[in-house]
Amino acid sequence: MKVVVTGAAGFLGSRVADELLSNGLGNKKVTELILTDIHAPPARQDPRVKVLALNLAEPSAADKLIDEKCGAVFHLAAVVSGQAEADFDFGMKANLDATRSLLEAVRHKSPTAKFVFASSVAVFGGDFPPVIDDLTCVMPQTSYGTAKAMCELLVNDYARRGFADGRSVRLPTVSVRAGVANAAVTSFASGIIREPLNGKESICPVKEDQEIWLTSPVTVVKNIVHAAVVDAKLLGKWRSINLPGLCASVGDMVSALRSVAGDDVASLIRFEYDAFIAKIVASLPIKIDNSHALKLGFSVDPDFSAIIRSYIKYDLKK
């Protein structure tokens, strides 16, 4: 099967590529893998891989990417929340228009292709119940969440009409991301664990009692790939899935770091309140009912200590 991954130079995109190359897609082997991003992703030794630099906000880009042989698209490219909030036009172009162009290309060239769209829990916001489920209304309080919610509607309608076999997965905040901080307002949720484990100080812009809905990279990558495998019949009339996650407060995260790595490491976290970030983070959901996603075969992390240990095992000092 020929597969396309956008945002493939990014943290999650490159790992989705690894997973596809190692384990295929369900019972299908990946025979051709196109990895694209605004700058070409690093070349790989694997002869199945082609890398491609493309600005998906250009109207012609999607046409260059999708062809008749395309069996699955993992659309992970996005402008992150902080940047989309700071630059509305840029965010809408990258997060809404680019997704629409990709869906159009799939519709006209390979309408049976699986189209996995990386959405976000940021579609929720404002007034929501203590525990969110599949029937909780979206009410985004960021332009990032707004564009994601708009794309979910498109993905669902394209699926309903047979234009693309779309599936939107709402990603929890991913922690611990390897690498460096980014412009996501939730970047600190990785930074407060990653930097101290690397002997560096890290600033936490929210208060200790702020709760966050979290997933590890390993689990979310497995879940993103699984989204292309789920039987369409099980998805019913709505193609958006809340990926499983777990709820932890910043205080819980710090305690977990202390128990796994010791006091000296945990003491490298410094609290410096940032009202802009704190307000957006406070608008995000903190508890979602995992039962539907687990029934569909998605996975969940056991607890945040396990997430830290997984980072230490796979990513620390790589």
Active-site residue set: 144
| Contact string 101-140 vs a second copy (x = CB under 8 A) | ------------------------xxxxx----xxxxxxx
Residue carrying the six token digits 């690498």? 179
Minimum CB separation from a second copy for residue 244, in Å?
19
- Residue 171 and residue 213 in contact, taking contact as beta carbons nearer than 8 Å: no
Residue 185 as a binder of a second copy (CB under 8 A): the answer is no
* Cβ distance to a second copy smaller for residue 66 or 84: 84
* Cβ distance to a second copy smaller for residue 91 or 172: 91
Q: Which two tokens stand for residue 83?
A: 């940047």
Looking at 16, 106, 121, 154, which residue binds a second copy (CB under 8 A)? 154
Residue 311 one-letter amino acid = Y
DSSP, residue by residue, 29-48:
---EEEEEESSPPPP-S-TT
* Cβ distance to a second copy smaller for residue 199 or 236: 236
Residue 290 as a binder of a second copy (CB under 8 A): the answer is no
Could you tell me the strand order of the sheet in which 173-174 lies?
A: 173-174, 211-215, 246-249
By CB under 8 A, how many residues form the interface with a second copy?
Answer: 28
Residue 149 as a binder of a second copy (CB under 8 A): the answer is yes
Task: Give the total residue count for the chain.
Answer: 318
* Cβ distance to a second copy smaller for residue 66 or 174: 66
Q: Which two tokens stand for residue 231?
A: 């039987």
**What is each CA distance from 256 to 150, 167, 193, 253, 265, in whole angstroms?**
36, 34, 9, 5, 11
Q: Are strands 246-249 and 211-215 parallel, antiparallel or unpaired?
A: antiparallel
Looking at 53, 131, 153, 234, which residue binds a second copy (CB under 8 A)? 153
Residue 156 as a binder of a second copy (CB under 8 A): the answer is yes
Q: Which residues contact 53 (CB under 8 A, 6 or more apart)?
A: 36, 37, 38, 39, 40
Residues 237-256 that bind a second copy (CB under 8 A): 237-238
List contacts with a second copy (CB under 8 A): 88, 125-129, 134-141, 143, 146, 149-150, 153-154, 156-157, 160-161, 163, 236-238
